[in-house]
């Protein structure tokens, strides 16, 4: 079902390198020695059934969840170092921030949290809002925005923090078809024009097949496959490949 | 980017806390209640002044602010507990905490600014209430009711508030809001009672004949900020009674126990998975 080589570009800059990551919740092993590499300036998708450990892995990258063994490096820096987090932005499945904040307030707040200097604030905010298509809604309160618009605010809050790696957890969940298409376009634009690395946890196989460069499939905390999207043989969809891997037919 | 403490980041977190907590409906409710109280105290004391002062029993005309201070002080601790429980718990429940902690922040920066922000709100609320009361009393009978003692008492209350907020935030980490509120009330009551009971005699005297209740009381008295002591100190200042406090002992004790509480809170929060 595959052609070409697995993702092993040792000489390129990796955005994420995870080695032997173990995470236990009591006696349950959520991550069972997970190994993963994500190339810089790429769109990478982590696929897996519910409970596979996708969100746990994503949160370990951010230090929101502690792991017991192994190590994770972000652009060469261990995740235990606070500096690593300056490079990483996180968009949860449902971006929530205080509903009484306006879009502008929210962006300005995240800028401040990331220690971005005030000198070019308005210019940067303007540019970012234009990038995510929220220029006309900048004075609206978050409580009045749709889910898709909130996701865009979430992305804008990552961009003003000048993050190189964006971690998106189920970004298409709950979006209507138009919202999904717009968000896919935004992700592609971020990679192409801003040079971002985008790591996506997703169940949306068909969406991911269209936009991702590389993918990994995990189940029960273990990586079962990690490949380039181009390596799928003609006629074999990501869905076919995923199904076969998970059901152990491959 | 440097990862030493950055004042601009702390300021952003602090103002965020103010913006978040100032919308509290509880705050609005208590503030409206205070305004009502100002008028009740004003007209109530005016009413009884005639009967009491005519008999030369006592001079109440200059005591309106004192009476008002005592009335609002009744729920001072309650308001601090509400904000203490809410300041971190609401972020944990809504998912904002994980978005914030995904930023390049030390977790203790976040906790410190949440506590200081909540403390500012509670303190600001009392300050505004007292000033408003002073103004209304002045307009009503032309006397200045705001004494220096009341202002000092407010600062003592600020120390009390910060300690109660820190303690409540600690308790709220692994409990739901209602249970945390009730438990924080119980703990604060135990500490206050212990502070009153053990304030005068020395430790060696108390260690004799140790029972369970006495042991709990002594632990509460020595290991936690003395909220009961600071509360009664503030009360004594306001009423003009002799307000005696051993600053050389009590201020360091307050500082050390508060820092201890904060370190424990930071440790537990750093282990929390978001």
Q: How many domains does chain A have?
A: 2
For the cut 90, the answer to whether the pLDDT of residue B33 exceeds it is no
Q: In angstroms, what separates the C-alpha of A250 from chain B's closest C-alpha? A: 35
Based on the fold, state whether residues A106 and A120 are members of the same structural domain.
Answer: yes
A96 touches chain B (CB under 8 A): yes
Average pLDDT over residues A175-198: 87
With cut-offs at 50, 70 and 90, classify the pLDDT of residue B201: low
Q: How far is CA A246 from each of CA A47, A220, A223, rounded to the nearest angstrom?
A: 10, 10, 11
Interface test with chain A among B6, B10, B102, by most A beta carbons within 10 Å: B102
A53 touches chain B (CB under 8 A): no
Based on the fold, state whether residues A80 and A182 are members of the same structural domain.
Answer: yes
DSSP, res A13: P
With cut-offs at 50, 70 and 90, classify the pLDDT of residue B77: confident
Q: Which residues of A touch B20 (CB under 8 A)?
A: 98
Euclidean distance between CA atoms A115 and B265, whole angstroms: 25
Q: How far is CA A203 from each of CA A50, A54, B249, rounded to the nearest angstrom?
A: 9, 10, 61
Based on the fold, state whether residues A144 and A176 are members of the same structural domain.
Answer: no
Identify the domain containing residue A235 by its residue range: 1-87+164-250
For the cut 70, the answer to whether the pLDDT of residue A119 exceeds it is no
In chain B, % of residues over pLDDT 90: 39
Is residue B69 in a domain? yes
Q: Which range (B27-31, B77-81, B220-224) has the least confidence?
A: B27-31
User: What pLDDT shows up at residue B36?
Assistant: 84
Based on the fold, state whether residues A41 and A1 are members of the same structural domain.
Answer: yes
Are A82 and B98 a contacting pair at CB < 8 A? no
Is residue B1 in a domain? no
Closest CB from B1, B16, B102 relative to A109:
B16
Are B19 and A100 a contacting pair at CB < 8 A? yes
The radius of gyration of chain A from alpha carbons, rounded to an integer in Å, stands at 18
Based on the fold, state whether residues A42 and A137 are members of the same structural domain.
Answer: no
User: What pLDDT shows up at residue A5?
Assistant: 39
Closest CB from B1, B96, B106 relative to A86:
B1
How many Cα neighbours within 13 Å face the side chain of A249?
A: 7
Interface test with chain B among A101, A110, A115, A119, by most B beta carbons within 10 Å: A115
Based on the fold, state whether residues A30 and A54 are members of the same structural domain.
Answer: yes
User: What pLDDT shows up at residue B53?
Assistant: 60
Based on the fold, state whether residues A121 and A151 are members of the same structural domain.
Answer: yes
B93 touches chain A (CB under 8 A): no
pLDDT tens readout for residues B222-266: 999 999 988 888 878 877 777 778 888 889 999 999 999 999 999
Q: Which residues of A touch B105 (CB under 8 A)?
A: 113
Q: In angstroms, what separates the C-alpha of B173 from chain A's closest C-alpha? A: 15
A26 touches chain B (CB under 8 A): no
B10 touches chain A (CB under 8 A): no
User: What pLDDT shows up at residue B58?
Assistant: 56
Euclidean distance between CA atoms B159 and B126, whole angstroms: 13
For the cut 80, the answer to whether the pLDDT of residue B56 exceeds it is no
A44 touches chain B (CB under 8 A): no
pLDDT tens readout for residues A36-60: 999 989 999 999 988 888 999 999 9
A178 touches chain B (CB under 8 A): no
For the cut 60, the answer to whether the pLDDT of residue A168 exceeds it is yes
How many Cα neighbours within 13 Å face the side chain of A102?
A: 11
Query: Last residue of some domain: A131, A163, A195?
Result: A163
Q: In angstroms, what separates the C-alpha of B260 from chain A's closest C-alpha? A: 24
User: What pLDDT shows up at residue A9?
Assistant: 45
Q: How many domains does chain B have?
A: 1
Based on the fold, state whether residues A72 and A111 are members of the same structural domain.
Answer: no
Closest CB from A90, A96, A97 relative to B102:
A90
Identify the domain containing residue B104 by its residue range: 7-271
Based on the fold, state whether residues A40 and A5 are members of the same structural domain.
Answer: yes
B106 touches chain A (CB under 8 A): yes
B23 touches chain A (CB under 8 A): yes
Query: Last residue of some domain: A112, A129, A163?
Result: A163
Query: Last residue of some domain: A163, A188, A210?
Result: A163
For the cut 80, the answer to whether the pLDDT of residue B46 exceeds it is no
Long-range Cβ pairs for the range A55-60 (8 Å, 24+): A55/A169, A55/A201, A56/A23, A56/A30, A56/A31, A56/A221, A57/A18, A57/A21, A57/A31, A57/A218, A58/A90, A58/A167, A58/A169, A58/A199, A58/A201, A59/B98, A59/B273, A59/B274, A60/A21, A60/A23, A60/A31
B204 touches chain A (CB under 8 A): no
Is residue B152 in a domain? yes
Residue A216 — φ and ψ, nearest 5°? -135, 150
With cut-offs at 50, 70 and 90, classify the pLDDT of residue B3: low
The answer to whether the CB of A9 falls within 8 A of the CB of A68 is no
Based on the fold, state whether residues A156 and A168 are members of the same structural domain.
Answer: no
Q: In angstroms, what separates the C-alpha of A231 from chain B's closest C-alpha? A: 33
Are B273 and A66 a contacting pair at CB < 8 A? yes
Average pLDDT over residues A211-222: 91
Residue B212 — φ and ψ, nearest 5°? -65, -50
Is residue B195 in a domain? yes
User: What pLDDT shows up at residue A42?
Assistant: 92
Is residue B2 in a domain? no
Q: Which range (A202-216, B66-80, B125-139) has the least confidence?
A: B66-80
Based on the fold, state whether residues A142 and A250 are members of the same structural domain.
Answer: no
DSSP, res A142: G
- CATH code of the domain covering residue A27: 3.40.50.300
Is residue B128 in a domain? yes
In 3D space, the residue among A52, A7, A66 whose CA is nearest the CA of residue A170 turns out to be A52
User: What pLDDT shows up at residue B120?
Assistant: 92
User: What pLDDT shows up at residue B264?
Assistant: 97
A89 touches chain B (CB under 8 A): yes
User: What pLDDT shows up at residue B203?
Assistant: 73
- What DSSP assignment string belongs to A187-237? HHHHHHHH--EEEEEES-HHHHHHH-SEEEEEETTEEEEEEEGGGBPTT--
User: What pLDDT shows up at residue A102?
Assistant: 92
User: What pLDDT shows up at residue A2?
Assistant: 47
With cut-offs at 50, 70 and 90, classify the pLDDT of residue B109: very high
Are B99 and A59 a contacting pair at CB < 8 A? no
Q: Which residues of A touch B1 (CB under 8 A)?
A: 83, 86, 114-115
Based on the fold, state whether residues A173 and A134 are members of the same structural domain.
Answer: no
For the cut 60, the answer to whether the pLDDT of residue A229 exceeds it is yes
Euclidean distance between CA atoms A18 and A11, whole angstroms: 16
């Amino acid at each position: 079902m595959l052609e070409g080589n697995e993702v092993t570009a040792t000489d390129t800059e990796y955005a994420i390198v995870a080695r032997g990551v173990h995470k236990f919740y009591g006696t349950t092993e959520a991550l069972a020695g997970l190994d993963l590499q994500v190339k810089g300036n790429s769109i990478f998708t982590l696929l897996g059934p519910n409970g596979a450990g996708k969100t746990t892995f994503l949160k370990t990258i951010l230090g929101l969840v502690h792991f017991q063994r192994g190590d994770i490096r972000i652009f060469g820096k261990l995740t235990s170092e606070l500096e690593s987090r300056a490079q990483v932005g996180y968009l949860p499945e449902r971006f929530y921030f205080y509903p009484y904040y306006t879009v502008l307030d929210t962006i300005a707040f995240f800028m401040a949290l990331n220690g971005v200097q005030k000198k070019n604030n308005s210019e940067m905010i303007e540019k970012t809002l234009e990038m995510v298509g929220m220029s006309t809604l900048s004075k609206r309160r978050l409580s009045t925005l749709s889910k898709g618009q909130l996701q865009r605010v979430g992305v804008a809050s990552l961009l003003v923090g000048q993050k190189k790696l964006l971690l998106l957890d189920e970004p298409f969940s709950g979006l209507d078809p138009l919202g999904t298409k717009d968000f896919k376009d935004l992700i592609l634009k971020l990679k192409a024009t801003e040079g971002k690395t985008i790591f996506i946890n997703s169940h949306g196989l068909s969406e991911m097949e269209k936009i991702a460069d590389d993918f990994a499939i995990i189940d029960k905390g273990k990586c079962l496959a990690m490949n380039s999207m181009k390596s799928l043989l003609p006629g074999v969809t990501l869905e076919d490949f995923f199904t076969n891997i998970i059901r152990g037919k491959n | 980017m440097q990862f030493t403490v950055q004042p601009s980041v702390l300021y952003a977190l602090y103002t965020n806390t103010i913006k978040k907590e100032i919308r509290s409906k509880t705050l609005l409710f208590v503030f409206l209640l205070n305004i009502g109280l100002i008028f009740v105290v004003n007209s109530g004391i005016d009413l009884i002044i005639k009967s009491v002062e005519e008999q030369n029993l006592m001079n109440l005309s200059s005591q309106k602010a004192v009476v008002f201070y005592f009335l609002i002080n009744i729920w001072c601790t309650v308001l601090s507990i509400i904000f203490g429980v809410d300041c971190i718990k609401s972020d944990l429940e809504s998912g904002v905490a994980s978005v914030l902690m995904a930023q390049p922040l030390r977790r203790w920066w976040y906790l410190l600014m949440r506590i200081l922000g909540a403390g500012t709100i509670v303190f600001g609320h009392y300050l505004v209430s007292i000033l408003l009361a002073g103004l209304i009393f002045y307009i009503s009978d032309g006397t200045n009711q705001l004494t220096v003692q009341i202002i000092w008492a407010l600062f003592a209350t600020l120390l009390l508030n910060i300690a109660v907020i820190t303690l409540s935030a600690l308790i709220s980490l692994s409990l739901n809001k209602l249970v945390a509120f009730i438990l924080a009330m119980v703990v604060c009551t135990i500490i206050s009672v212990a502070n009153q009971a053990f304030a005068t005699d020395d430790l060696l005297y108390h260690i004799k004949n140790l029972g369970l209740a006495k042991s709990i009381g002594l632990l509460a008295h020595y290991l936690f900020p003395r909220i009961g002591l600071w509360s009664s100190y503030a009360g004594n200042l306001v009423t003009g009674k002799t307000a005696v406090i051993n600053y050389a002992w009590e201020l360091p004790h307050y500082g050390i126990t508060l820092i201890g509480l904060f370190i424990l809170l930071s440790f537990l929060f750093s282990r929390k998975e978001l």
